[in-house]
Structure 1
């Protein structure tokens, strides 16, 4: 494999200044796609997955580390342990009053780190708030649970505290299973629709999520009796981060770029996040041996899908003096979604939505990306710092951050189509967290009719939109080159703190995934 993907000759002569346009030109679509071919091969030869803790991830890490060493970077492989959780099968049915069979990932989803087994009984609502403003703390306190929960299934509402806390409290109260409904505190799909989440640590009872409307319907149905069956794996496994640093540049001004290398257990993860991993890898290879003014550091994170474990482990084990040397962090998680938007992290919170602005300097990072897309004549969308990716531990400790995101499970709107084309009503990535996030999506279970429609609109390479990933790879190159030359726009910051909700390597914060 490595023989096939040999390192090419340098993209430019060695110098102290990088030309962003020349670097972007040297980062070709073919160069990025060759890495996706390799990542698919590692999955295909190792059980169809590149999840952390699997041989497919290990081979992916070997590939990245070897190429970066051959390119002249100093490579560190940082090992750690994490909770590996996987669901291998499930069922969910209403027994009475209206027998109904529900569909996995359509009507419900098994929460990551759910217990293994079968739960049957009455559905008991727990401290629900179903009227505006839906300020729910359902299940956050042990006192929320009445004796009626014992031996039955708790229905709790998203909000205030982590999913894992709600599930653990339900288990402690004697519930045999738990259903977590969305919160319904806004009309947005992220608080109305079915959501995918993690408990952070394993619990001993089956735990699933449902949409807000389904939760309301359950709460309003007298004597609702259901059965939940989950087949899950939960164990501690070993994995690693791959960190590569340039041999040149000011060691007190580190420009860091990262992407998570792992997939979910269900598939190869070619868009999530082969796309980001391949993008930064190709940029790094084209920058080999260039004597940049500032030091470059590239990271391929492990166990992001298990709850941002790798990036949090890195930050929480970084000495304060080394933390202070990181001028900024650029994050690239899903940069080739087939039904894409061009999302740029909203460093200045100009959209006034969600989590607010990033640390001081994040607005300046956003401006570099916005200027790039403006020169290309491409519209952008403000992507909120939700905490769903590896920038989370960086911004939690005051490091300015930015990056790109082409969308996941949210559905494309007619307004989106007017800007970027594509299919309204379909997810930005219709194969998000599924087996079909591969180079052969239809063969791996994707909706064939939808993908035919997408292929009429776009040129796809498997589950990756070639225009989106090509454009975004150029944007990656432009931002890295810009800050490799000059970080003077990034203001000084305060001394490092510990990443939010830090804990042993097995658990950490994951924004919308965790609560």
Structure 2
């Protein structure tokens, strides 16, 4: 292979890192401040320090590193998600908690890989409705099918993998046209720049051939490197059927009495495919594990539950299952949900801690956190914000006051540019911000549950 071709092919494994990507929520943010001249009892600060003195940023950073580096991407329903669940279960059990594994079913899904003939990997997502391949996958040339219209196919498409641009037709129509032309697989690339691969929806249609989504940059690189030079790719899709995920729940109740009020502390431990998930959400998981350690022995007068949920990334399925299976009695006794997601990013612009609520209104969780931040001098600004898209939604839906603690950029509410990309690594995680989140949320929880 000549040097020019090597450089071009190498683009396929790195091209996703060449542009920026952020998620911006609707503009409804309210910086919040504590009431002026409020008298803080000295004992409150003393209780805060009992928590803060024990929260270890080194321990949290190490746990996040284990999840992101040792285990890696923890895609829902896969062995690595199960490994993360086992890690969490073992830690909580070692701390002396009563631990429950709550298993639930998830929709059938596919996991795919795409490699060029010189073994460069192209990041890919597999939509529901895609067909599968053998364990070895399919190795074939690519066919440039433009937009995937019927007239874009010729007899040359037969036996090849159709490479199709997003636009004009539905994804299902593009795939159907490829099937009718005799293609044995379909790759659809985006028509706008993004770091994450396209996730095409097939609208409920199920196809016999494998279908995948890739970025615009990867599609253009494949046109140049593979189609133009008549090379092949290997496309492998393994269908996961009758798969389950699980929630790991650690409970601690006061030693005396019953029917105690319940405070739920939640974080999801799964990640998207190809992303190590250091920020999203090894960070929240690591903080929740550390708070479980810190709060395991202090006297309490309320029940606390640490809920580590799976399958967040495919529609909040774990938290929905947990919340919807609470009994009427448990719901009546539930007073708060502290949910942590992406609390440790080192991205400089994410200088504020957003307190996302579904209705944009303050509740017992945001009020408690604000009062705590005032007492302990939390460095970052706290912003009340109307936003779902994390597990606090599931608690809110069953009537439990809930807040999602997450770092965003003030003003734009943008998430870090590494969100849902291969760059979501420990390189961009801040031990100091993990400590800040642990101090704030930990002291807030303890102010509610302590005797």
Aligned residue number for residue 78 of structure 1: 102
Structure 2 alignment gaps of length 5 or more: 1-44, 133-137, 220-231
Aligned residue number for residue 367 of structure 1: 367
Residue 288 of structure 2 corresponds to residue 323 of structure 1: no
1:245 Cα deviation (Å)?
0.7
Aligned residue number for residue 21 of structure 2: none
Q: Specify which of 42, 58, 82 is matched with residue 58 of structure 1.
A: 82
- Secondary structure of 2:263's aligned partner: strand
Residue 423 of structure 2 corresponds to residue 469 of structure 1: no
- The two structures have a TM-score, normalised by structure 1, of 0.57
Superimposed CA distance per residue, residues 168-210 of structure 1 (whole angstroms, 9 cap, x where no aligned partner): 5765788785859699xxxxxxxx9666675688765635376
Hey, what's the Cα distance between the residues in 2 that align with 1:377 and 1:371?
14
Aligned residue number for residue 233 of structure 1: 238
Aligned residue number for residue 433 of structure 1: 421
Q: Specify which of 314, 317, 321 is matched with residue 309 of structure 1.
A: 317
Q: Verify the 8 A CA contact 1:345 1:402 in the aligned structure 2.
A: no
- Secondary structure of 1:406's aligned partner: strand
Hey, what's the Cα distance between the residues in 2 that align with 1:178 and 1:382?
41
Aligned residue number for residue 269 of structure 1: 277
1:253 Cα deviation (Å)?
1.9
Residue 212 of structure 2 corresponds to residue 247 of structure 1: no
Aligned residue number for residue 99 of structure 1: none
- Secondary structure of 1:85's aligned partner: strand
1:194-205 mapped onto 2 (5 Å cutoff): none
**Cα separation, partners in 2 of 1:316 and 1:469, compared to 1, 3 Å:** same
Aligned residue number for residue 505 of structure 1: none
Q: Verify the 8 A CA contact 1:260 1:302 in the aligned structure 2.
A: yes
Q: CA RMSD in A?
A: 4.7
Hey, what's the Cα distance between the residues in 2 that align with 1:360 and 1:291?
33
Hey, what's the Cα distance between the residues in 2 that align with 1:149 and 1:386?
41
Hey, what's the Cα distance between the residues in 2 that align with 1:438 and 1:195?
15
1:337 Cα deviation (Å)?
1.1
Q: Verify the 8 A CA contact 1:42 1:59 in the aligned structure 2.
A: no
Superimposed CA distance per residue, residues 265-294 of structure 1 (whole angstroms, 9 cap, x where no aligned partner): 425433221111110111111111333222
**Cα separation, partners in 2 of 1:149 and 1:309, compared to 1, 3 Å:** farther
1:38 Cα deviation (Å)?
3.8
1:110-125 mapped onto 2 (5 Å cutoff): 110=125, 112-113=127-128, 120=143
Q: Verify the 8 A CA contact 2:58 2:431 in the aligned structure 1.
A: no
Hey, what's the Cα distance between the residues in 2 that align with 1:195 and 1:294?
42
1:311 Cα deviation (Å)?
1.8
- Secondary structure of 1:305's aligned partner: coil
**Cα separation, partners in 2 of 1:260 and 1:377, compared to 1, 3 Å:** closer
Aligned residue number for residue 338 of structure 1: 346
**Cα separation, partners in 2 of 1:390 and 1:206, compared to 1, 3 Å:** same
Aligned residue number for residue 484 of structure 1: 449
Q: Verify the 8 A CA contact 1:242 1:301 in the aligned structure 2.
A: yes
1:57 Cα deviation (Å)?
3.2
- Secondary structure of 1:376's aligned partner: coil
Aligned residue number for residue 13 of structure 1: none
Give the number of the structure with larger relative contact order, counting CA–CA contacts within 8 Å between residues 6 or more apart: 2
Q: Verify the 8 A CA contact 1:344 1:402 in the aligned structure 2.
A: no
Residue 427 of structure 2 corresponds to residue 406 of structure 1: no
Q: Verify the 8 A CA contact 2:395 2:402 in the aligned structure 1.
A: yes
**Cα separation, partners in 2 of 1:19 and 1:277, compared to 1, 3 Å:** same
Q: Verify the 8 A CA contact 2:362 2:384 in the aligned structure 1.
A: no
**Cα separation, partners in 2 of 1:371 and 1:429, compared to 1, 3 Å:** farther
Hey, what's the Cα distance between the residues in 2 that align with 1:314 and 1:169?
37
Superimposed CA distance per residue, residues 440-470 of structure 1 (whole angstroms, 9 cap, x where no aligned partner): xxxxxxxxxxxxxxxxxxxxxx431122111
Hey, what's the Cα distance between the residues in 2 that align with 1:386 and 1:149?
41
**Cα separation, partners in 2 of 1:198 and 1:394, compared to 1, 3 Å:** farther
Superimposed CA distance per residue, residues 309-346 of structure 1 (whole angstroms, 9 cap, x where no aligned partner): 22222233334443343222221111111215145445
**Cα separation, partners in 2 of 1:316 and 1:154, compared to 1, 3 Å:** farther
Q: Verify the 8 A CA contact 2:280 2:419 in the aligned structure 1.
A: no
Superimposed CA distance per residue, residues 390-423 of structure 1 (whole angstroms, 9 cap, x where no aligned partner): 223223333321021125xxxx79x88xx9xxxx
Deviates more, 1:309-318 or 1:17-26: 17-26
Compare CA radii of gyration and give the structure with the larger one. 2
Hey, what's the Cα distance between the residues in 2 that align with 1:19 and 1:317?
33
Q: Verify the 8 A CA contact 1:71 1:289 in the aligned structure 2.
A: no
Hey, what's the Cα distance between the residues in 1 that align with 2:277 and 2:416?
15
- Secondary structure of 1:88's aligned partner: strand
- The two structures have a TM-score, normalised by structure 2, of 0.63
1:53 Cα deviation (Å)?
3.7
- Secondary structure of 1:271's aligned partner: helix
Hey, what's the Cα distance between the residues in 2 that align with 1:393 and 1:229?
40
1:70 Cα deviation (Å)?
3.0
